[in-house]
Amino acid sequence: MGCLKVPVVRFLKLALSHATATLLAASLVASCEPTGDVAADQSRNPATAADVSVERVILQAYRAIGDRHLNEPDFRRMSLATYKGFAASDPTLSLRESDRAVTLIHDGHDVVSRPAPSDPADGRAWGGMLAELFAASIDASPVLQQTDRGTLIKGAMVATTKQLDKNTRYADPDEARDNRFQRDGGGGIGITVERTDDKKILIRAVQDGAPAAKAGVKPGDQIVAVDGEPMIDKGLIDVVHKLRGSVGQPVTLTVWRDGDREIAMEMRRGRIIPTTVTYERVGNTALIHLTAFNSDTTDELAKALDKAHKELGRDMQGIILDMRSNRGGLLDQAVSVAETFIGGGVIFSTQGRHPDSRRTYRSDSSHTTQAPLVVLVNGNSASAAEIVAAALQDRGRAAVVGTTSYGKGTVQTVIRLPNEGELILTWSRLVAPSGYTWNEQGVMPNICTAKVTDISALGPASVDATKPLLQRWHAERNPSHEEISNLRKICPPGEDSPQQDVDIASRLLEDPTLYAHAVATGSIDQAAMPVAAQQ
């Protein structure tokens, strides 16, 4: 979710009891979209990373922010906030700022003064000054000397990112490791776990073909030990980390099955990529659930579509792509998923301050699925899910059904920091083919579920009535907060995934005329597209 900022409790629930935990991935940050721009040596030894100084981390972070953030930062203001976060554990430390200098004060006494950089946008200069003040603060403060370096780094980085935008954030090494697992996979056994109300760790799902499946692990098994170490009183995240490890490394999982017997199963960890695509048949329709965008999503989607075509054959009426509560993921996967359905032309574009952040993404695919398509979204559909929904809607390839989406219309680049943490940095805005940006605004559905009281009464006239609203939506350029608030009241975002969404989608696919009208309400005239998007 770029990463959608969510409360920690909710994040753990999403990451560890949802499909994102397929062994066992913490899905972002709700909707993180790395561009592949990872700035650090990925072979760094984690043992030494734990000893990395806060000075090194802040220097690299400030350089990246200065070069790449969507908006030109004010480092003068940011530096004071960063220092407060860094020194939060010692109230006797403070800074005094003037136009020409920044002075460190400890217990009422001046310790050291450094020249204030003249340019408030010079991240390198302000980062260098802060690094010197950090070092001097640690020398002067017994409290900071006794504080864990990871705590100091996190305090500084969280305070820094709060000065930018809501989707820029810091992930400490543990969270960053989970993020990388979710995006790219890693060593594991291929299970989804959840904690019950009575604190049992239960296996909710087993990934086909994974080591756990081959060893005989079953859904419903209760984890009691890993490599002989009891897991009964462990936190869910502790169990997750215990089960992960290097590919090929052995692990013994002990479970309690059927309430009456204990079974120990030996296996070797394999490379696990969390499952993000599942298929089910609903009548003569292929219902495909797409829960996130990771490195395997497009391949999984292709397999699901192939299975659907083989199972349904000529009887297939269409495809329902369910992206409700999909928080997003990898940008390149959003592109390739859209290409699965769009055979040519613009998918979306990006606009930012850094030259590399300004791009137009086009589909050049000649192998697209032509079946009628309905996309389901809700208020928790964000980021990469919105890229796909907006492109399919604008290009007249699908009808979107549900509620207005979350409205995360920015792209983040992931900066790997020296301590193995990550700076997830907003660096561009997303723009739909019609030229609007859905950041804060969201993607409005062709058919708003909340406004349908009788599915059988849906007809071309009632569907066509949405067209002026969608035209107004797509015509917006830089709307104010008040205008966005009023727009989102047209079809308020919802967090549920009601069966009614699927029923409406099925109704559209059963009636080709009604489906054509629904698609037309949100599609744009190619001749009316922005010139920049057509190029």
As beta bridge partners, residue 370 has: none
408 is catalytic: yes
Pairing of strands 373-377, 399-402: parallel
Nearest in space to 424 (alpha carbons), one of 68, 174, 137: 68
Is 152 within 8 Å of 114 (Cβ atoms)?
Answer: no
- Catalytic one among 165, 178, 221, 394? 394
Sign for the pseudo-dihedral over CA of 20, 340, 281, 373: positive
242 is catalytic: no
Pairing of strands 93-97, 270-272: unpaired
- The Cα-based distances of 76 to 133, 175, 187 in angstroms read 14, 29, 43
Q: What share of the chain is helix, strand, coil (3-state, %, to 5)?
A: 40, 20, 40
Residue with tokens 């734990």: 50
- Catalytic one among 349, 383, 434, 506? 383
381 is catalytic: no
Task: Read off the DSSP letter of residue 90.
Answer: -
Pairing of strands 285-290, 399-402: unpaired
Is 129 within 8 Å of 114 (Cβ atoms)?
Answer: yes
The alpha carbons of the chain give a radius of gyration, in whole angstroms, of 25
Is 78 within 8 Å of 117 (Cβ atoms)?
Answer: no
Token representation of residue 86: 């860094």
Residue 222 neighbours by CB distance under 10 Å: 19
Nearest in space to 32 (alpha carbons), one of 162, 159, 182, 188: 182
As beta bridge partners, residue 416 has: 422
Distance CA 274, CA 292 (A): 9
Token representation of residue 462: 């009632």
- The Cα-based distances of 468 to 3, 463, 464, 485 in angstroms read 32, 11, 8, 18
Nearest in space to 423 (alpha carbons), one of 53, 84, 71, 58: 58
- Catalytic one among 90, 363, 408, 501? 408
Token representation of residue 452: 């349908």
* Secondary structure (DSSP) of 465-514: TTHHHHHHHHH-SS--HHHHHHHHTSS-------HHHHHHHHHHHH-HHH
Distance CA 296, CA 287 (A): 19
122-128-129 Cα angle (round to 5): 95
Catalytic residue annotation: 383, 394, 408
